[in-house]
Amino acid sequence: MMSIRLAACLALAFQLAGCQAPSTAQDTAATKVGPFPPADRPVASIISSRWSDEESRDRLNEADEVMNRAGISPGMTVADIGAGEGYYTIRLAQRVGPDGRVLAQDVVPEVRDALAERVNRERLDNVSVKLGAPDDPGLPPASFDRVLLVHMYHEIEEPYAFLWHLRPALRSGGQVIVVDANRPTAQHGTPPALLACEFAAVGYAQTALRPMPNAGGYFAVFEARGPRPEPDSIVGCRMAANG
């Protein structure tokens, strides 16, 4: 298991730097649609199924470093959400080995189908491929040691609904790993303070936040803490003017 406690101080510093406090229930009531508050930020469009080419990412040792920091080991069950062309899926399958499992998911049917073809072509018997929904990853309950959200969080249209539906899928001690760029969501990144605020609104605690230049930004870890809040009780975050 990786050491994460020291990084909590860095997480707190980021949280104080760039995001306003959660809005009041009165502030969000007028714009709320359905049981979950809306995201008070732009949502980046999905412009490609890849963040960068795989050879360049491997030269920077991106996947190995992320998996090492996340403590991913043989026998684990891992979800790769927003899997795209499968850069992490393929490498996760190798890391968890024949006794582990990887669930690769994407919300674009054509991308999901192409990834399924790659998985079949490379005979990755420990990988399943699934089509997800923008507000619900649709993961089986109590099944995952790690859930990876790599370069995709800024594309989630309904973050509170998504994170709420994700929580039951984590096993005891399970973690959500986020890798993203430290820039506004409209520019295909997520300010760390905004990320921490949105996760906290759904009952997650941030246990690590570290710079990760070779992945284009930062590495963050979240764990579910306490009871899952009722959707109507979730209070959305207010995006800072520079976020």
Can you give the pLDDT at residue 240? 59
Q: What Å distances lie between residue 17 and 11, 31, 77, 242, CA to CA?
A: 10, 26, 35, 11
Does residue 222 register a pLDDT over 80?
yes
Does residue 172 register a pLDDT over 60?
yes
Does residue 196 register a pLDDT over 90?
yes
Encoded tokens for 66: 């992320």
Distance of alpha carbon 101 from alpha carbon 180, whole angstroms: 24
Can you give the pLDDT at residue 33? 55
Angle formed at CA 222 by CA 35 and CA 195, multiple of 5 degrees: 60
Does residue 21 register a pLDDT over 70?
no
Distance of alpha carbon 64 from alpha carbon 228, whole angstroms: 32
Q: What Å distances lie between residue 221 and 56, 122, 169, 178, 197, CA to CA?
A: 25, 30, 16, 6, 13
Can you give the pLDDT at residue 53? 77
Residue with tokens 């360049």: 56
> Strands 170-180, 217-224: parallel, antiparallel or unpaired by DSSP?
antiparallel
Q: What is the mean pLDDT of residues 103-119?
A: 96
Can you give the pLDDT at residue 52? 59
Question: What is the chain's mean pLDDT, rounded?
Answer: 85
Can you give the pLDDT at residue 70? 98
In the sheet that 217-224 helps form, which strands lie side by side, from edge to edge?
127-131, 101-106, 77-81, 144-150, 170-180, 217-224, 204-212
> Per-residue pLDDT tens for 122-161?
999 999 999 999 899 999 999 999 999 999 999 999 999 9
Q: Is 189 helix (H, G, I), strand (E, B) or coil?
A: coil
Residue pair 149/83 in contact by the 8 Å Cβ criterion: no
> Per-residue pLDDT tens for 61-76?
999 999 999 999 999 9
Distance of alpha carbon 7 from alpha carbon 4, whole angstroms: 6
Does residue 7 register a pLDDT over 50?
no
Q: What is the mean pLDDT of residues 192-219?
A: 95
The distance in angstroms from the start CA to the end CA of the chain is: 32
Can you give the pLDDT at residue 56? 87
Percent of the chain surpassing pLDDT 70 = 81
Q: What is the mean pLDDT of residues 172-189?
A: 95
The DSSP line for 154-171 is: GG-S-HHHHHHHHGGGEE
| Entry pTM | 0.83
Band (pLDDT 50/70/90 cuts) for residue 28 is very low
Band (pLDDT 50/70/90 cuts) for residue 231 is very high
Distance of alpha carbon 112 from alpha carbon 144, whole angstroms: 20
Can you give the pLDDT at residue 50? 46
